[in-house]
């Protein structure tokens, strides 16, 4: 049971939940004896005598870069409360300057040198366990504080590349040394490897070892070297030596490593280090037609170029959602590149007149604003596919010094021009996402299929249409939408087996509609077996498979990959926040939601999700404010959330008023989901379970994940688990 605000643990009065640590939840608390604020980490079980002995050793560490352990209770630790972001937060914020990286690295190694001198191994060195005290703005100097020294061995078992794994193997997979992965004995050289992974992440803003699953990450740690960094030569040599697979080839002590850092300290720049892997955002091409009535064509051309560039190995391509977020805005190219985290931007224009088309395109370097390549194409409209290929080839050729190969994108089926134009118009209307535009999009997709029956991509468009109406907007019942989505995907694969996105949608249908989780996993693995894997497939794998089966820790990694490819995709960030919150990482979850709200302060999905997380933390007034702001009278989720929080605050009359639309039509599709949220938040798990069962009967795609979040400990859970073929 989570201690609520006001609860006392010995002399420590709980103030608020502030996050999750390796062994439990972390609270801000008040030390009533010494009248000071502290951090209290609460474990689920009582500590063993062996742990208490180790805690005494850690408490004896006295170093300015080590978080002080004040006290130990039967199942809690009391530490100094540190004001500042974690290193993970800082890396997420923006690129670090080499001078800043070296300063942080020197302080971290100093802390570890002291700990190792006293025989203490950390076992879980990662950016999330390093705090930058007193650093709230980019100009502030940071004092490093390393958390959780020597305590990782009591961490709870998790299964994600960003969380701590316990049992026979201790640590966080993405930062483990190879010998740690293999369960061998550890020494300080193991922590030098972990430090190398942290240093690499500071330099590149990406993890040294990544993968779509825990197994992929562990295999990468043992067998793979990270991609080249753009670090200054001295720092690059340090990273490479730290990350040697054999301990004997690494630095042999933190003192030796710190001395190496001292040698490069005065030779590095104060400028942020640029990302190394070439990356590009294709901005929507401007419609220069005389009547300005071919926006659908210019947008479609931009999207087709994105699809062609995705095929180039070694090139990171920002997805359409994020690139098109700047449409119609007079933003500086360098600012756009900074927001999207890319090294290059492609912009252009389209002028169409009858059967002729003029296309201009310019490739721009983000750091300088310089034009690296530009071209103008005056062609017949029928040549549009060749123009797309030529632009992609020209970009790859321009960047070839940093790319492994420069392929010419292939096209399995070249549609007739009227069918292609119908598809482009359908995508244009789909992007507007209102009922009228979605209906028009569906008509155009069906028109494209009629015009060219062998064209596979309109079938994928139809599948996405039905999935959005059902799982996204909740306006089409699952029993209507999901079979149609399945049929559209199967037809697309009949026409073009290379369309891996179709297997991803089929995996989602098999999971949250059929409750056939084995088949869902098979289809998702099939979708991810051929490169490049669309970012949407990674997102669906986490959202429609890993979360519903109760593995939110693992779900965060593929959803995060989706967000990295599409950083302004609000749905992706909200999905990631939900997975992180279900894992107990409330701080990271709220950070993702703040990223959305920073761009759209009234985004209802982000506000409602934020309200639910605040409620889980016991921050009821903040939860209610978010729910009020995110309330939409047509959305069952927002209705149930606001009504539940009002009831929690004792405002039962208004709660009933807000809830009235759902109570009037309780069998309408989506209503059980909202009524479940109301009862779960107001504390009636019995009624919540009853409404969740009705959501399962509706085959609401959200039902499995909602069950995992709220009812897994309730008496109704075994029955619900059997209904959804989930392990009980």
pLDDT band at 679 (very low <50, low <70, confident <90, very high): very high
Topology adopted by domain 87-264: Transferase(Phosphotransferase); domain 1 (1.10.510)
* 201 neighbors 229 (Cβ within 8 angstroms): no
User: How would residue 624 be classed by pLDDT, with cut points 50, 70 and 90?
Assistant: very high
**pLDDT grade, residue 655 (50/70/90)?**
very high
What's the topology of domain 8-50+65-80? Phosphorylase Kinase; domain 1 (3.30.200)
Catalytic residues: 124
CA geometry: angle at 94 spanning 92 and 97, to 5°? 120
pLDDT at 195: 96
279-411, CATH topology level: Rossmann fold (3.40.50)
The helix or strand, by DSSP H or E, that contains position 680, with its residue range, turns out to be helix 671-681
pLDDT band for position 95 (50/70/90)? confident
pLDDT tens digits, one per residue of 127-171: 988 999 875 444 446 799 998 775 544 333 344 444 444 444 556
Scan for tokens 């997380």, then name that residue: 613
Tell the residue number behind the tokens 């208004």, with chain if given. 654
Q: Taking all residues of the chain, what is their mean pLDDT, rounded to a whole number? A: 86
Compute the average pLDDT of residues 695-720: 82
pLDDT above 70 as % of the chain: 91
Other beta carbons within 10 angstroms of residue 479's beta carbon come to 13
Q: How many helices (H) and strands (E) does the chain have?
A: 30, 14
Q: 438: closest CA among 446, 699, 261, 686?
A: 446
Q: Is the dihedral of CA 309, 574, 544, 701 positive or negative?
A: negative
Domain boundaries along the sequence of the chain: 8-50+65-80, 87-264, 279-411, 416-532
Q: How confident is the model at residue 714 (pLDDT cuts 50, 70, 90)?
A: low
Query: What tokens were used for 176?
Result: 């483990």
Which carries the bigger pLDDT value, residue 168 or residue 280?
A: 280
Measured CA angle at 636 (ends 635, 640), to 5 deg: 125
Cβ neighbours of 30 (radius 10 Å)? 18
3-state secondary structure string, 323-382? HHHHCCCCCCHHHHHHHHCCCEEEEEEEEEECCEEEEEEEEEECCCCCEEEEEEEEEEHH
- State mean pLDDT over 686-707: 92
Nearest to 87 by CA among 164, 227, 243, 199: 199
Q: How far apart are CA 166 and CA 152, in angstroms?
A: 8
**Pair of tokens at residue 124:** 């879980």
Q: Residue 212 and residue 210: Cα distance in Å, rounded?
A: 7
* Nearest residue to 111 (alpha-carbon basis) of 96, 101, 122: 122
What count of other Cβ atoms lies within 10 Å of the Cβ of residue 522?
Answer: 15
Pairing state between β 344-353 and 371-380: unpaired
Indicate the length of the chain as a whole number: 728
Comparing CA positions, the residue from 152, 188, 150, 153 lying closest to residue 58 is 150
Instruction: State pLDDT tens for residues 5-54.
Output: 888 999 999 998 877 655 667 889 999 999 999 999 888 778 877 677 76
How many whole angstroms separate alpha carbon 618 and alpha carbon 70? 25
Q: What is the mean pLDDT of residues 109-117?
A: 93
Determine if residue 719 is left, alpha or beta; phi over 0 gives left, psi from -120 to 50 gives alpha, anything else beta: alpha
Structure tokens at 220: 């990468």
Ranges assigned E (strand) in 182-296 = 279-282, 286-287
Cα distances from 77 to residues 10, 64, 616, 651, in angstroms, run: 11, 19, 22, 37
- pLDDT (tens digit per residue) in 535-579: 899 999 999 999 999 888 888 888 988 988 888 888 899 999 999
Helical ranges in 542-585 per DSSP H? 552-565, 570-582
Rg (CA), the chain: 27
Q: What is the mean pLDDT of residues 245-271?
A: 88
Among candidates 538, 513, 536, which has minimal Cα distance to 525? 538
The 3-state DSSP class for residue 27 equals strand
What token pair was written down for 439? 């209906």
Q: Is 592 helix (H, G, I), strand (E, B) or coil?
A: helix
Contact 470, 462 (CB under 8 A): no
Question: Topology of domain 416-532, per CATH?
Answer: 1.25.40
Those residues whose C-beta lies under 8 Å from the C-beta of residue 590, and which sit 6 or more positions away, are 577, 610, 613
Residue 659: exposed, middle, or buried by beta-carbon count in 10 A (0-12, 13-18, 19+)?
Answer: buried
- Paired with 374 in beta bridges are 362
């Amino acid at each position: 049971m989570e201690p609520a605000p006001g609860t006392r643990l010995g002399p420590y009065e709980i103030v608020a939940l502030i996050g999750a640590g390796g062994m439990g939840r972390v609270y801000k608390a008040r030390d009533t004896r010494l009248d000071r604020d502290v951090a209290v980490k609460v474990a689920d079980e009582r500590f063993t005598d062996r742990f208490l002995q180790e805690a005494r050793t850690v408490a004896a560490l006295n170093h300015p870069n080590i978080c002080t352990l004040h006290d130990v209770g039967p199942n809690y630790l009391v530490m100094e409360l540190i004001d500042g972001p974690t290193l993970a937060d800082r890396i997420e914020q923006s690129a670090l300057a080499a001078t800043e990286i070296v300063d942080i690295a020197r302080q971290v190694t100093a802390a570890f040198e002291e700990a190792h001198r006293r025989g203490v191994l950390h076992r879980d060195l990662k950016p999330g366990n390093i705090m930058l005290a007193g650093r709230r703005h980019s100009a502030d100097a940071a004092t490093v504080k390393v958390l959780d020294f020597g305590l990782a061995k009591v961490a709870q078992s998790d299964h994600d590349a960003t969380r701590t794994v316990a049992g026979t193997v201790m640590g966080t997979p993405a930062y483990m040394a190879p010998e740690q992965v293999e369960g061998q004995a550890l020494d300080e050289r193991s922590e030098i490897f972990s430090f190398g992974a942290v240093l690499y992440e500071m330099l590149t803003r990406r993890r040294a070892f990544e993968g779509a699953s825990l197994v992929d990450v562990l295999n990468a740690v043992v067998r793979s070297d990270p991609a080249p960094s753009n670090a200054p030569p001295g720092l690059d040599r340090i990273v490479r030596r730290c990350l040697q697979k054999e301990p004997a080839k690494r630095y042999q002590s933190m003192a030796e490593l710190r001395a190496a850092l001292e040698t490069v300290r005065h030779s590095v720049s104060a400028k942020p280090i640029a990302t190394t892997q070439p990356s590009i955002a294709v901005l929507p091409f401007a419609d220069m037609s005389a009547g300005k009535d071919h926006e659908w064509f210019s947008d479609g051309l931009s999207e087709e170029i994105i699809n062609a560039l995705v095929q180039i190995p070694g090139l990171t391509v920002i997805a359409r959602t994020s690139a098109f977020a700047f449409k119609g805005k007079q933003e500086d190219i360098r600012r756009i590149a900074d927001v999207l985290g890319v090294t290059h931007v492609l912009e252009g224009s389209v002028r169409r007149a009858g059967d002729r088309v003029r296309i201009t395109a310019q490739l721009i370097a983000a750091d300088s604003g310089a034009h690296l390549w530009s071209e103008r194409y005056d062609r017949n409209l029928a040549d549009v596919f060749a123009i797309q290929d030529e632009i992609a080839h020209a970009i790859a050729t321009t960047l070839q010094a940093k790319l492994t190969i420069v392929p010419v994108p292939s096209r399995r089926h070249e549609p007739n021009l009227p069918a292609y134009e119908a598809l482009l118009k359908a995508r244009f209307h789909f992007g507007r996402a209102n009922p009228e535009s979605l209906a028009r999009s569906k008509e155009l997709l069906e028109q494209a299929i009629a015009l060219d029956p062998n064209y596979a991509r309109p079938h994928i468009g139809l599948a996405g249409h039905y999935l959005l109406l059902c799982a996204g907007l909740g306006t089409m019942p699952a029993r209507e939408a999901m079979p149609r989505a399945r049929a559209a995907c199967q037809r697309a694969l009949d026409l073009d087996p290379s369309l891996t996105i179709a297997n991803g949608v089929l995996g989602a249908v098999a999971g949250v509609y059929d409750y056939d989780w084995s088949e869902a996993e098979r289809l998702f693995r099939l979708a991810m077996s051929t490169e490049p894997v669309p970012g949407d497939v990674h997102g669906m794998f986490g959202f429609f498979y890993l979360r519903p089966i109760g593995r939110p820790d693992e779900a965060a990694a593929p959803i995060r990959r989706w967000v990295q490819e599409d950083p302004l995709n609000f749905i992706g960030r909200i999905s990631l926040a939900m997975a992180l919150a279900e894992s107990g990482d409330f701080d990271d979850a709220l950070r993702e939601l703040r990223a959305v709200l920073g761009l759209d302060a009234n985004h209802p999905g982000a506000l409602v999700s934020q309200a639910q997380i605040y409620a889980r933390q016991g921050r009821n007034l903040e939860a209610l404010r978010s729910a009020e702001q995110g309330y939409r009278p047509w959305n069952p989720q927002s209705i149930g959330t606001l009504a539940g929080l009002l009831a929690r605050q004792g405002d039962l009359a208004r709660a009933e008023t807000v809830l009235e639309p759902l109570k009037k039509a309780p069998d309408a599709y989506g209503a059980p989901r909202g009524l479940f949220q109301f009862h779960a938040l107001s504390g009636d798990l019995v009624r919540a379970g009853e409404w969740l069962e009705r959501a399962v009967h509706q085959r609401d795609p959200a039902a499995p994940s909602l069950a995992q979040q709220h009812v897994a400990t309730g008496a109704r859970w075994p029955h619900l688990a059997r209904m959804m073929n989930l392990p009980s």
